[in-house]
Amino acid sequence: MRGCESQLAAAMLSTGPRSGLRRREFVLSICGAALVPLVCPPCARAQSKLPVIGFLGSTTPTTWSVFVGAFVQRLRELGWIDGRNIAIEYRWAEGREDRYAELAAELVGRKVDVVVTAGTPAVVALMKATSTIPIVFASAGAPVETGLVASLARPGGNVTGLSNQQTDLAGKRLEQLRRVVPDLRRVAVMGNVASSIVALEMNAVEVAAPTLGLEAFRVEIRNMEDIAPGIESLKADVDALYVCSDPLLTIYRDRINSLAISKKLPTVSAFRAYVQAGGLMSYGPNFPDLFRRAGDYVDTILRGAKPADIPVEQPIKFDLVINLTTAKALGLQIPDKLLALADEVIE
């Protein structure tokens, strides 16, 4: 301001018929320039930090591309655009549960504002990494039974999201499979027993099977090396293969379906991706819709709501997907009534 004062003093000494106008112009130009750094820089320099959304995927960007697309599109509809008023940081476990802890720690260290993920093991890893950052699961099975939330209505803690009814739909999948395989009697249930939620799903299949006149038995795996021997060990009197929902099995779905077809085994699972990879049929929630609805949870949290107060919701859309090419390879005739009910038929 001293420079401004000296120039102002000089201006005040100027004379002439238009000196008053010149003095006012000079005062405004000199002092205005001097005052701007004192008044405006906080507004000019203050750039509000973009909210950061952490996204922990259990498999790969390719496998989850439809899910990510649905989530990002919903955020855009709600006014959140990546790179403009939010930032999204992605981490991918590539089907390896042993990576969850490391990736969760990375996102927590990044001090993200909220984390989105799917699958019980991923949520558990995030819960171990933070008790304060909000966690939204776009899809998780039996969230109360596995300890993710206290209740569906009042989750408590820093976790909420959408249930995929993984265990609840086990019996329904067996029903659909029996409609395609009329002589169905014995079903092998393949699952990664290292996962607590998969263990619950296997139990659910074993409980539902007798009510449908079926016998179910386990094919337990823990890593990729167990898949081929597990399927090869199945005897000729096994009629079908139920594939539990798990990132490890999703990563190797092509291998699983190839081996199953070679043994003339129809397969049923929860994910459309299995059917695209050669599986016979899938029945489960519409997962893109679950990820889309996860965008609403994130929007609500970024606007100030707490996960503890946001109820866990159930799926509202379900998909039956059938692969006719695989059916023909297995010598199966899909009933017309079932084809009419199918949400998608792959040929």
Q: Are residues 326 and 215 in the same domain?
A: yes
Amino acid 103 reads L
Tokens standing for residue 83: 């790179």
pLDDT at 18 over 90: no
For residue 48, what pLDDT is reported?
59
Rounded to two decimals, the pTM is 0.82
Which range marks the domain in which residue 17 is found?
2-45
Q: Are residues 116 and 257 in the same domain?
A: no
Q: Are residues 147 and 187 in the same domain?
A: no
Q: What is the CATH number of the domain that holds 144?
A: 3.40.50.2300
pLDDT in tens, 74-111: 999 999 999 999 999 999 999 999 999 999 999 999 99
Cα separation of 8 and 33, whole Å?
13
For residue 347, what pLDDT is reported?
92
Q: Are residues 36 and 57 in the same domain?
A: no
249 close to 256: Cβ distance less than 8 angstroms: yes
Q: Are residues 311 and 328 in the same domain?
A: no
Which helix (H) or strand (E) element contains residue 267? strand 267-269
**In sequence order, what DSSP letters do the residues of 189-239 get, joined into one string?**
EEEETTSHHHHHHHHHHHHHHHHTT-EEEEEEESSGGGHHHHHHT--TT--
For residue 339, give the nearest of 173, 183, 176 by alpha carbon. 176
Number of domains in the chain: 3
pLDDT in tens, 275-324: 999 999 999 999 999 999 999 999 999 999 999 999 999 999 999 999 99
Q: How many CB atoms lie under 10 A from the CB of residue 307?
A: 22
For residue 179, what pLDDT is reported?
95
